[in-house]
Structure 1
Amino acid sequence: MRAYKVPDTAKLDRVVQEAITTAEKRALGYREQALKIYPWVCGRCGREFTRKNLRELTVHHRDHDHQNNPADGSNWELLCVYCHDNEHQRHLEAANRQSMEKTASSVASHSPFAGLRTMMNRRDKP
């Protein structure tokens, strides 16, 4: 009988917490930098933000790579949460459209009803 190894949940919890902490630090880092570099205005709809509603202003990565955070902010743009969601939805739809076009290019060549009229004509004659 094979022995079952009990996973070390404490180690797993530490690894997960460390990953979360690292991601939060990275997000705060580039968010704070972007808020210092750019005016607090949504890059799409033009909505202006103050300290009171600043939490609704997000940092969008233009190349969709959250690891790409140049200090000059060239990969960032500030978007309100609505425009940010819309941008990511458009990106997903474009990716889906491309995969659909690839699938559509491989059209089936078999026609299951090709000889149906001939078969029906033969059946009608006595």
Structure 2
Amino acid sequence: MGQTFRPRRPGSPPAKTQAELDEMVRRMRGEQSSPANYREQSLKIHGWICAKCGREFDLSNLHLLTVHHRDGNHHNNPPDGSNWENLCVWCHDDEHSRGVLGEYLKGGDGKR
């Protein structure tokens, strides 16, 4: 793979070396939470219980307990769990359908 020449704009920071770019990528990957990781963290922090209906879960049905992002941003995964709540699949569906129903009742198109 050959290098391409791209002129820098005046006043722009100097180009990074490949080692610096590799380190930046490693650091960014380390800061990201994978979906499995944040689910695991949320289950540890909030327990195996639905925050809405209070149903308790065990290993046989834990797959029915999901993580809901309160602000709707799936990339916002603070390590303290403040943007998560564990909801069973039924309460999670209800939570997401409320906005659609509200828009419909207000006369909107119901799309989110």
Judge same fold: TM > 0.5, yes or no.
Answer: yes
TM-score by length of 1: 0.55
Match of 1:89 among 91, 97, 102: 97
Report what 2:14 is aligned to: none
Runs in 1 of length 4+ with deviation above 2 angstroms? 91-100
* Separation (CA, whole Å) in 2 of partners of 1:76 and 1:49: 17
| 1:76 and 2:84 are equivalent in the alignment | yes
**What's the secondary structure of 1:74's corresponding residue?**
coil
1:103-114 → structure 2 map (5 Å cutoff): none
* Separation (CA, whole Å) in 2 of partners of 1:77 and 1:49: 14
**What's the secondary structure of 2:90's corresponding residue?**
helix
* Cα deviation digits, residues 80-109 of structure 1 (max 9, x gap): 000000000002223445663xxxxxxxxx
Instruction: Report which of the two structures shows the higher radius of gyration computed on alpha carbons.
Output: 1
* Separation (CA, whole Å) in 2 of partners of 1:54 and 1:98: 36
* Cα deviation digits, residues 62-81 of structure 1 (max 9, x gap): 01110110000000000000
Of all paired residues, the percent bearing the same amino acid is 55
Where structure 2 has 5 or more consecutive residues not aligned to the other structure, the ranges are 1-32
Report what 1:116 is aligned to: none
* Cα deviation digits, residues 27-52 of structure 1 (max 9, x gap): 10110110111121101111000011
| 1:40 and 2:48 are equivalent in the alignment | yes
* Separation (CA, whole Å) in 2 of partners of 1:44 and 1:36: 17
Where structure 1 has 5 or more consecutive residues not aligned to the other structure, the ranges are 1-24, 101-126
* Separation (CA, whole Å) in 2 of partners of 1:99 and 1:63: 24
Paired positions, count: 76
Aligned-residue RMSD, C-alpha: 1.6
Change (3 A) 1:69 1:45: same
Report what 2:34 is aligned to: 26
